[in-house]
Amino acid sequence: MEIRVQGLTKIIKKQRILSNFSLSFTGVYGLLGPNGAGKTTLMKILAGLIDFNVGSVFVDDELISTSTTVKRTDYIGYLPQDFMIYPELTMYDVLEHIAVLQGGKSPISYHDQIKEVLEQVNLLDHAYKKMHELSGGMRRRVGIAQLLLRNPSVLIFDEPTAGLDIEERVRFRNLLKQLGKRHTVIISSHIVEDIEFLCTKIGVIKSGEVLFEGGPDDLKKKAAHCTYEMDVQLTELDEIIATRDVVQMNEESSHVVVRVLSEEPVGQPVSPRLMDGYLALLKEAAND
């Protein structure tokens, strides 16, 4: 399923948050951009939570925007950064309550469905833990489980791994990758590593404008001729950081390997990664 945004503009207090925005979301789609770029605003518009000023939103060939709002549909599910409701209830009771509100059936009829979605998000063994006892990553997985109760075709995640420890991030990434086999998944994030691991298509936005849309390899090519690695002694490190666009540092036993973006040749040229392409694109936009 494809979600297509055409000419979308959102103005808040005379400030353009999104400006003549056009993107096409398919597969597992990563929306990258610095904080304040407009990512969360766009996610909320697609989910039908806030309105917009100008533009259209389509699912496949169906127009789902009426005037300046997106119609609420069962085939779009949205998970905000943190999911915490009914802290004194168990996750099973929370899901049962949501299922009854959505479907109007008796709680007994949802038992197998709740077990199934908890198994999908690897929480079945914790079904009777109270919400306030869960880690941030577990709460977000409960959030996914409640979305899956109505089996939407499109899943929208806003900064899904922000604030999680490394173990939870890895677990959550793997879950999103599995969901991408059965759903269109849109992931808004400023964490490039998550997008690199998960996404088949990427959009980059900054200050409410689209800078790029394409595949991961296309974004990497933005840094194809300016990515280098240098072997630097610890005594030289401060000067390198002060004078170069440093992307990454890896400490070895006798020196530090510094990855930099540079218009002039330095050190050894290396194949660009997604982070390199992303930073080169932002730098290019800042210089325009």
Query: With 90 as the cut, is the pLDDT of residue 175 above it?
Result: no
Q: Using the CB atoms, write b or e for 222-233: b if 16+ within 10 Å.
A: bbeebbbbbebe
Per-residue pLDDT band for 105 (boundaries 50, 70, 90) equals low
Q: What is the pTM of this model?
A: 0.87
Q: Under CATH, which architecture does the 3-219 domain have?
A: 3-Layer(aba) Sandwich (3.40)
Res. 159: pLDDT tops 90? no
- pLDDT by residue (tens digit) across 57-93? 998 888 988 878 888 777 889 988 777 788 999 999 9
If you average pLDDT over residues 243-268, what whole number do you get?
91
* pLDDT per residue as tens digits for the range 186-213: 999 888 988 888 899 999 999 999 999 9
Residues of the chain with CATH 3.40.50.300: 3-219
Average pLDDT, the chain: 89
Question: Quick one: tokens of 180?
Answer: 């991408």
What pLDDT is attached to residue 106?
Answer: 64
Predicted confidence band of residue 56 (pLDDT cuts 50, 70, 90) = very high
Mean pLDDT of 7-28: 93
